[in-house]
């Protein structure tokens, strides 16, 4: 069955520290991978996506993610976190070969300590 797991429900980091949010997926076909961010009271905004090519993808707001097929992972990273990065982060997987739905993970809540 297709699924996305985000092992960390909540993470707290200090401002200026580095960040890594974990994402693992189970998908039968070649996956299409996304990271979305949701600020309080807002909708979801796409941070970055991996479709093909270079497995290290750059996104908005200084985020990057690396696709590792052997580990079925797509972890999100940022070298230096800002207080405004405090939000909920969702990993998602979709199909590259059909118009099927995108499956979202449960989300990781990020708190940033000044």
Partner 1 sequence: DAGVIQSPRHEVTEMGQEVTLRCKPISGHNSLFWYRQTMMRGLELLIYFNNNVPIDDSGMPEDRFSAKMPNASFSTLKIQPSEPRDSAVYFCASSFPVEGLDYEQYFGPGTRLTVT
* 99 lies in the site for partner 1, by CB under 8 A: yes
Which C-beta is closer to partner 1: that of 40 or that of 114?
Answer: 40
In the set 14, 43, 54, 114, which binds partner 1 (CB under 8 A)? 43
3 state SS for 8-49 = CCEEEEECCCCEEECCEEECCCCEEEEEEEECCCCCEEEEEE
Which C-beta is closer to partner 1: that of 46 or that of 113?
Answer: 46
Instruction: Please give the backbone phi and psi of residue 62, each rounded to the nearest 5 degrees, phi first.
Output: 80, 10
* 51 lies in the site for partner 1, by CB under 8 A: yes
Give yes or no for a contact between 3 and 94, defined as CB atoms under 8 angstroms apart: no
Residues that bind partner 1 (CB under 8 A): 32, 34, 36, 42-46, 49, 51, 90, 94, 96-99, 101-102, 104, 106-107
């Amino acid at each position: 069955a297709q699924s996305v797991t985000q092992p960390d429900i909540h993470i707290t980091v200090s401002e200026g520290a580095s960040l890594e949010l974990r994402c693992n997926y189970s998908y039968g076909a070649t996956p299409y991978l996304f990271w979305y961010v949701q600020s309080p009271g807002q909708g979801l905004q796409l941070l970055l996506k991996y479709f093909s090519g270079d497995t290290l993808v750059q996104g908005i707001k200084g985020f990057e993610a690396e696709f590792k097929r052997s580990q079925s992972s797509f972890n999100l990273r940022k070298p230096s976190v800002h207080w405004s990065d405090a939000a909920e982060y969702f990993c998602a997987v979709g199909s590259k070969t059909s118009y099927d739905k995108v499956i979202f993970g449960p989300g990781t809540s990020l708190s940033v300590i000044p």
